[in-house]
Amino acid sequence: MLSGPGVPVGCRFWLSPSGDQAVFVAAPDGRQAARELRLAPLDDPLAGTVLGASVGEVAWSPDGARLAWCGPNGTVAVRVGGVAEPERLAGCRPRFMPAGAVVTRDGQPAATYLLADGHELLSPAQLDAPLAERGSALLEVAGFGIGGDGTVAVVALGQAAGALPLALLELWRDGELRASLRVPTFSSPAGPGLFGLRVEISPDGNEIALLFPDALAYPGAGTLVALVDVRTMTVVLEEPVVYDIAWSPDSAWLALARGDGIAIYGTERSRVLYRLPLATRALAWR
């Protein structure tokens, strides 16, 4: 985690694939919706440079050569250390495919498709089909993540007339649905949406973490996390009040930043092996 005298840091940071530098959110200014992003080496955070304004997620390309983030007017992609003009793409919540394409959720409030470098990757019809088999209709793409093998994990939110909302984890590869699983939903006074849902995939691709925003809790209460084993398509761990999650590079270890400190799990995800009494809202494993 980045810290140090004279370095005000917000609640998130994104470590580079090489682990030697990170993008972090400067301490937020309550008067502004956008937040200032900075790129800094971990051994000298004071040497950081300003990247620009962000209103959402940040992503590194697998080779660490490019960055993308959600700006006030869509996604911005840049080459780290380069002098070329930033590339601007439609949509937000950027993620990189293994080959380098930037995947985004379409920019509408209720997004129903995904884009890759501005072109349609998964259509509303594709994402709706698994929901239709369960008698529901697509409302929005609540969140998505990209695995190292190119698997696209999508949480699609659907609802049928007079029924409770349905959240479905859909796993896509090369345009084909490989598996799906119904996952929890948490309603809010504003409606059944899952605004702010994060989808993270382990380095080995065998686990997917869904970090659901707890819309009914007080601000800063954390999220609810569900850990899915892709090999069995079952939920193997559920924890309340989680701020962040990180796997070790070999995926053998899992760390959760919880309300009572950092919990570290071994290969048996049902049991906490170590507890660190450290209060933090952001984690990364080097």
Note the pLDDT of residue 63.
Answer: 93
Could you tell me the end-to-end alpha-carbon distance of the chain, in angstroms, rounded to an integer? 10
Whether the model pTM is above 0.75: yes
Q: Which residues, 6+ apart, have CB-to-CB distance to 189 below 8 Å? A: 215, 216
In a structure prediction context, what are the per-residue pLDDT tens digits for the chain, which is 286 residues long?
334 444 445 567 899 999 899 998 875 554 555 678 889 888 887 777 888 888 878 999 999 999 999 888 888 888 887 666 788 898 889 999 999 999 999 877 778 999 999 999 999 999 999 999 999 999 999 899 999 999 999 999 998 887 778 899 999 999 999 999 998 765 444 444 455 688 999 999 999 999 887 544 444 455 688 999 999 999 999 888 888 999 999 999 999 998 889 999 999 998 999 999 988 888 889 8
**CA–CA dist 80, 94 (Å, integer):** 16
- How many CA atoms, within 13 angstroms, populate the side-chain half-sphere of residue 70? 15
Q: Where are the domains of the chain?
A: 1-89
DSSP secondary structure, 73-86, as one string: TEEEEEETT--SPP
Residue 27 DSSP code = P
Element (H, E) at 223: strand 223-229
Residue 268 DSSP code = S
Note the pLDDT of residue 83.
Answer: 62
DSSP secondary structure, 183-201, as one string: E----BTTBS--TT-EEEE
